[in-house]
Amino acid sequence: MQALERAFVAANRWALIALLAAMACIVFANVALRYLTNDSLVWAEEIARYLMIWLTFLGAGLVLRFGGHIAIENLHDVLPGRAGRWLRAAIVAALLVFFAVMAWQGAAYASLMRFQTTAATGISFGWVYLAMPLGFVLMIVHLLLVARRYVLERQVLSSDEIDAVTASSL
């Protein structure tokens, strides 16, 4: 199971790396063309914006996994062991419900917008808004993968992951 989880996290990371690299190359090419030729790519800003939207939603699950979202932990600090675990279990349940509702609504919104097209490229807005349900489904998967550890130990990273993140940030 851990190998499957590592592969899932790695695939999510590589997808983000590819999206960020594409966005950076497009923006760099557009800026270079603007200054070197006095002309720019008409679609570059639009595509970069949509890639940023995809980055945001696809990356939210990894940020959740590493505890990077805003959290208010004062109540965790004052509650004794069992009450703290119940609170964390309730938080996980509430997040699962919220993520499921948002995935459902995001899919409905993407479906609703599929006939409207973007200005510069003419692609369907459904493809742009598909990032929302896909991102929330990924958040559900990431949350389920760390939920047990979060509820029982109040940590979202394993000790190996903490060591890997610490080593890579040095």
Q: Show the domain range for 59.
A: 2-169
pLDDT of residue 78: 83
Q: pLDDT grade, residue 2 (50/70/90)?
A: confident
Q: Hey, what amino acid is at 161?
A: E
Statement: residue 170 has pLDDT above 70: no
Contacts of residue 71, defined as CB under 8 A and 6 or more positions apart, other chains included, come to: none
Q: Is the dihedral of CA 143, 145, 148, 150 positive or negative?
A: negative
Interval 98-150: pLDDT, tens: 999 999 999 999 999 999 999 999 999 999 999 999 999 999 999 999 999 99
d(CA 26, CA 24): 6
Q: Which neighbouring-strand residues pair with 124? A: 117
pLDDT confidence tier of residue 160, bands split at 50, 70 and 90: low
pLDDT in tens, 9-55: 999 999 999 999 999 999 999 999 999 999 999 999 999 999 999 99
Q: Output the pLDDT for position 91.
A: 93
132 close to 106: Cβ distance less than 8 angstroms: yes
SS (H, E, C) 128-162: HHCHHHHHHHHHHHHHHHHHHHHHHHCCCCCHHHH
Task: Name, in order, each residue with C-beta under 8 angstroms of 109's C-beta and a sequence gap of 6 or more.
Answer: 129, 132
Residue 168 is predicted with a pLDDT of 58
For the chain, the domain total comes to 1
Would you report the helix, strand and coil content of the chain in percent, each value rounded to 5? Answer: 80, 0, 20
Higher-confidence position of 57 and 154 = 57
**pLDDT value of residue 163:** 57
